[in-house]
Amino acid sequence: MSQRIIIDTDPGVDDAIALWLALASPELDVLGVTVVAGNVALKDTVRNACKIVALSGKTTPVFAGAPGPLVREQVYGKYAHIGAFKNELVPDSDLQPQAEHAVDFLVRTLRQAAEDNSPITVCAIGPMTNIALALGMHPDVARGIKHIVTMSCAFTALGHRVPWAEFNVYADPHAAEKVFNSGVPLIIMPLDMTFQALISKDDIEALKQDGGLPGESVAALLNAFDRSDLNRFGREGGPVHDATTLAWLLQPGLFEGQSARVGVEISGKTAGYTYADFWNKLATPPNATVMQKVDEYGFFSLMRRIFSRYGNHPDDVQA
């Protein structure tokens, strides 16, 4: 039976890869894509989400959500000035978002899941504003969530937008705090782990050759927005952070993690800073499993196998 999931996202290059992984996987039943401002403004994240879903060949509904954070001033990602993906990177489509607001969709769907005693996994790969609003509107939403798998936080690694914070948390630390304290089990993919899996030129070329139209777009996006940093990573290649969340859903054995109490600083100069209490220094129960290691070869092998489905190649190895 397929895992029922909702993907909350702010596309974004790695978000696009994560979405295409999910939409090509029959192991996952993507009920909806809820969109938030983050990497770029909401009108552009929604446009990108629609183009990504359309290129997959699926009709998964897209819902526009929060245009900005709960409290703090708006901040955008590194490539915010680019806006929506150019059509030569991701072809245009006439797919439009649903009329229903993303938060209303989350509340309706997750409350029904709670009532049915059939909780849904939420994959959070953008600022957590939509999810925090849903939890705030109706606390029983939490009972409808099996767990939240989130690409967020930085513990031993420095941040990638500011030195002290991972972007998704930095963009809305108050929303992250609400989610972290919701009682919903968290599976966290922090920068500490995502920096261990760097996509190579060979992997990008394989996706381009074997991954159909989505594979071609991934290659175009990664070549247009190069995320390699030889000084920081010490070798060639760049991370594809958000894709690790879907990889964990599909093949959790690729990852190793440890339970911890995770918290976030919501004010002051270091707003967005996150900590993980692995050794129970605070005498508070864990709220998360923090992934610390990833099988890099296995991760990119999984990605190549799944994208080959878009290229209509036989999938000889099950994901």
Across the strands, what pairs with 257? 291
Specify burial of residue 73 (Cβ count, 10 A radius: 0-12, 13-18, 19+).
Answer: exposed
The catalytic position among 81, 147, 160, 241 is 241
Instruction: Write down the domain spans for the chain.
Output: 3-307
pLDDT digit string (tens) for the chain, length 319 residues: 899 999 999 998 999 999 999 999 999 999 999 999 999 999 999 999 999 999 999 999 999 999 999 999 999 987 777 779 999 999 999 999 999 999 999 999 999 999 999 999 999 999 999 999 999 999 899 999 999 999 999 999 988 889 999 999 999 999 999 999 999 999 999 999 999 999 999 999 999 999 999 999 999 999 988 777 777 777 788 899 999 999 999 999 999 999 999 999 999 999 999 999 999 999 999 999 999 999 999 999 999 999 999 997 444 333 3
CATH class in words for 3-307: alpha beta
160 has catalytic annotation:
no
CB atoms within 10 A of CB 94: 6
Label residues 243-268 b or e (16+ Cβ within 10 Å = b).
bbbbbbbbbeebbebebbbbbbbbee
Closest by CA position to 79, among listed 167, 201, 159: 167
pLDDT at residue 314 in the model: 43
Peptide bond between residue 83 and the one before it cis (omega within 30 degrees of 0): no
Single-letter residue type at 29: D
Structure confidence at residue 78 (pLDDT): 76
